[in-house]
Amino acid sequence: MQMRLGRHTFGPDDTVMMAIVNRTRDSFYDRGATFDDGPAQERVHRVVHEGAEMIDIGGVRAGYGEQVDAAEEIRRVAPFVAWVRETYPGVVVSVDTWRSEVAREVCRAGADVLNDAWGGHDPALVEVAAEHDAAVICTHTGGLAPRTDPYRIEYDDVVADAIAETTRLAERALAAGVARESIVIDPAHDFGKNTFHSLEITRRLGEMVATGWPVLVSLSNKDFVGETLDLPTQQRLTGTLAATAICALAGARIYRVHEVVETRETVDMAWSIAGRRLPRRAIRGIQ
């Protein structure tokens, strides 16, 4: 399936590196390293140079933390979206938000994608996406309210639940007027899930890919990796790349990442093994 992310189009065998830029003081991974404009701009320059096709900008930490109202979220992200749009017109600009009022402002500033991180909590968000011809990412969060950590959450079948919820949200976005090729689904590892749930989602990701909707995975340095290997946040790269390879083999299209180069090489290798991508050079046994 072809993907159209705002003004950018990707073929059915294209994969996309979505580099994370957090405009927060309390992000779990970088601890606020890109809260200020200067470091955030440097991060964008670096990841674009490393080959990221997409920048995902967030103004509110996903979990518990500092309270951030809509006006403050807009202040943190909308001007930065405008800067990225002007500086790198060939890069897809995404904003991680669940609020329609924030979505409207960032679309006006030039955002191509609304990454609805809390699974349709604000139903008007997809209407904003349709109004601005933006793409939308539909996530599975187990019905939790924004910024809520899971506690003893249970599913009869977590993969079936993720498929049912994300495809329902996708159909709702389609009905609201979002173009079919501009709708992506995300099982949302760790969101509304314990470690066993996220491992099962990874193992069975091919079932989500089989729905026909493009699949995004956000695996980078997540808790399910850390708990599986008993490693702190800054030591989870190898585990992240192992999970990435499994998802790439299954056919995930978009990878939300902290480490662009390592993830790109992992995904390219897995897609070549799967027969979806030719090696860049293949002279062994020929010359």
Asked if 218 and 186 count as a contact pair (C-beta separation under 8 A), the reply is: yes
Residue with tokens 């995975």: 217
Q: Can you tell me whether residue 216 is helix, strand or coil?
A: strand
User: What is the DSSP-derived secondary structure letter of residue 27?
Assistant: -
From residue 224, alpha-carbon distances to 78, 173, 174, 183 in Å are 31, 29, 32, 26
CB-based contacts of 134, cutoff 8 Å, min separation 6: 6, 103, 107, 111, 112, 113, 114, 128, 178, 182
Nearest partner of 18 among 140, 227, 186, 206, judged by Cα: 186
Q: How far, in Å, CA of 171 to CA of 31, rounded?
A: 36
Q: Tokens standing for 160?
A: 């079936």
Q: Which residues of 260-286 are buried (b: 16+ CB within 10 A; e: fewer)?
A: bebbbebbbebbeeeebbeeeeeeeee
Q: How far is residue 279's CA from residue 189's CA, in Å, rounded to a whole number?
A: 30
Give CA–CA dist 227/223, Å, rounded: 6
Question: Of 117, 108, 53, whose CA–CA distance to 77 is shortest?
Answer: 108
Q: Supply the residues annotated as catalytic.
A: 222, 256
Report which DSSP code applies to 171: H
Distance CA 149, CA 270 (A): 32
